């Protein structure tokens, strides 16, 4: 299967719906229900994206900043029903790749995932273009 994504959420129904959408588009979603354990999942799977469900997990500016510094090669997306999270404004401004509102637009989510993939591809070393 294609790219792997980790979602941290306690809302299993929403995770299942997202998993169906992503599997139809060559992504594999792995869910966990708390920040603890993210290290093992990231080390076990080669993922390039982590989705934080701000409505179902408790997270603060410091935790997000530490995660994004520790895993600088991973894009962190946030999803929430609330349009504003003033308590997270620093983390969202400087450390989060994108924020999406729930219910999220499938096309918008896929757009951001493709942007992350394109960024990953641009970091790869150039392919050898020499002729044999």
Q: Residue 81: give the domain boundaries.
A: 3-123
Split at pLDDT 50, 70, 90, the class of 13 is very high
Q: Is residue 130 part of a domain?
A: no
Tally the domains of the chain.
Answer: 1
Give the strands of the sheet with 47-53, arranged side by side: 27-32, 3-8, 47-53, 75-80, 98-101
CATH number at residue 109: 3.40.50.2300
8-state DSSP, 130: -
Q: Is residue 131 part of a domain?
A: no
Q: Is residue 132 part of a domain?
A: no
Alpha-carbon distance of 61 to 90, in angstroms, equals 6
Q: Is residue 128 part of a domain?
A: no
The string of pLDDT tens digits covering residues 51-107 is: 999 889 988 888 889 999 999 999 999 998 877 776 887 787 788 899 998 888 889
Q: Is residue 21 part of a domain?
A: yes
More confidently predicted of 46 and 111: 111
């Amino acid at each position: 299967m294609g790219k792997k994504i980790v979602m941290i959420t306690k809302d299993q129904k929403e995770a299942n719906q997202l998993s169906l959408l992503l599997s139809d588009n060559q992504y594999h979603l792995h869910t966990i229900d708390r920040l603890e354990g993210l290290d093992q999942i990231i080390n076990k799977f080669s993922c390039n994206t982590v989705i934080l469900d701000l409505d179902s997990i408790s997270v603060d500016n410091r935790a997000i900043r530490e995660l994004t510094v520790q895993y600088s090669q991973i894009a962190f997306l946030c999803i929430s029903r609330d349009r504003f999270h003033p308590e997270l404004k620093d983390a969202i401004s400087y450390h989060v790749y994108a924020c999406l509102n729930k219910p999220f637009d499938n096309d918008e989510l896929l757009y951001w995932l493709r942007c992350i993939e394109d960024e990953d591809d641009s970091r790869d070393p150039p392919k050898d273009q020499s002729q044999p």
